[in-house]
Amino acid sequence: MNVRLYATLRPIVGGAVVSLDTGPGDTFRDLIDELVLRWPDLKPELYDREGNLRNNIHIFLNGRDVRYLGGLDMPIPEGGEVRIFPPVGGGSGEAAANDADPVEMTHDYYGVPDWLMKDYLTSVGAVESEENFMVGDGWQARITKATPNHIGSLVIGGSTVHFSGDQDALDAMFEKLHWKTLRGGG
């Protein structure tokens, strides 16, 4: 089965997608065990010192965190899409896979409430890894409520989004997101 990995996990396995022998009927624990067996450098990224999967590692099945679906001992269903996200906030200061520093920027989107911004970011390829934290292919975004904009007696709310990631990935995402935010309702 194919598994998509993100951010700091990609340089370790040599790409965005890996093909594993583990598949439907096996457990997510089997999947992680195969990953670590094939790429031992993944072990400290995925497991803590006690041998437990790190709390900030998110394994998604069809866009939902397996922790809330049945955990690592749950069988992988037929046709399941699996994605693994390492922590994406902060960082160790090491260079990214392409030796470029991650880019960070913040944008206000007035007239676009939080729930709609989530929809827009999902439509351009993101998955919500935790509440109001979206992860795309090479980028991530934290959504908060914008400080209301006062124009005379009119008050306009919206979303403030802090983006970070690879410049090329952000550029490609912004090209799509721009058109979404220009058209009221997407």
pLDDT, position 179: 79
pLDDT, position 110: 83
Residues 6+ away with beta carbon under 8 Å from 73: 27, 28, 29
pLDDT digits (tens, 9 = 90+) for 80-129: 889 898 765 433 333 333 344 567 888 888 889 999 999 999 999 999 98
pLDDT, position 89: 45
pLDDT, position 137: 86
pLDDT, position 18: 95
pLDDT, position 67: 81
Residues 6+ away with beta carbon under 8 Å from 31: 1, 3, 20, 22, 59, 76, 82
Backbone torsions φ then ψ of 45, nearest 5 degrees:
-75, -35
Residue 21 C-alpha from the chain's centroid? 24
Say how far apart CA 105 and CA 181 lie, in whole Å: 17
Find out whether 140 and 164 touch, Cβ atoms under 8 Å: yes
Backbone torsions φ then ψ of 127, nearest 5 degrees:
-125, 140
Question: Which domains are present in the chain?
Answer: 2-85 (3.10.20.30), 103-182 (3.30.1370.80)
Residues of the chain where predicted confidence (pLDDT) is lower than 70: 87-102, 182-186
Q: pTM of the full predicted structure? A: 0.54
Residues 6+ away with beta carbon under 8 Å from 68: none
